Amino acid sequence: MEAAFVLYPKMTALDFVGPFEVLASVPVVTTRFVAASLDPVTSDNGLSVVPTDTFDTLKSTDVVVVPGSGHWRELLADSGGVVEWLRAVHPTTKWTTSVCTGSTLLAEAGLVTRATTHWAAREDLEARGVEVSTDRVVFDGKVVSGAGVSAGIDMALRLVEAEFGEVVAQAVQCGIEYDPQPPRSYDSIPPEIAQGLQAAFDSRQA
């Protein structure tokens, strides 16, 4: 099985590194990194990744993983070819997935009807006609979305379970020693902290 990870400038690194670590732990999974060109792509915090393929050369794949970005509104205005490639490749996939605000790109491409996303992007997802869930992972047919950033690990583990079974998923989870403690979400933190976080994310979109 082949998994293609979408790269674009200002993406959030953990959005694709987390799912990559999970999926690459399954021996039968091969991975590719696809972008607009073969030039290195730099994440929002400076991690540079070299693509293996371009949107022009990779025409089909089994799994697509779309990371998010803290600059998602800027990306929605000009995706650099990501949205167009997603529309073209989606009919060939067994699973099309997103992490964090990557679900807004799936929505922009018209590929999803129900999804989750980072809490700061819920309104933007809803504005694109998507039923927004606050669940950590959402299956919508063959489209699977994970909530913010670290939820990409959960999404990938659920995907491994769906594709290869619970035993394999448990082995991968224990192998990477993923046992987040304590559980905490945007909806469960004190209002003053939530308001401060919202203000910080809003400032990025200005």
Number of domains in the chain: 1
Confidence (pTM): 0.91
pLDDT in tens, 79-131: 999 999 999 999 999 999 999 999 999 999 999 999 999 999 999 999 999 99
Does residue 189 fall inside a structural domain? Answer: no
Tell me what pLDDT residue 183 has: 67
Residue in 34, 63, 89, 100 annotated catalytic? 100
Does any domain span residue 100? yes
CATH of the domain at 129: 3.40.50.880
Instruction: Mark whether 100 is an active-site residue.
Output: yes
Instruction: Say which residues have a Cβ less than 8 Å from residue 47's Cβ, sequence separation at least 6.
Output: 13
pLDDT tens digits, one per residue of 171-197:
999 999 999 877 677 787 788 888 887
Q: What pLDDT is attached to residue 188?
A: 79
Domain membership of residue 199 (yes or no) is no
Tell me how far the alpha carbon of residue 166 is from its chain's centroid.
Answer: 22
Burial of 153 (0-12, 13-18, 19+ CB in 10 A): buried
Q: Give a yes or no: residue 89 inside a domain.
A: yes
In a domain, 187, yes or no: no
Domain that holds residue 162: 2-181
Question: How far is CA 21 from its chain centroid?
Answer: 13
122 within domain boundaries: yes
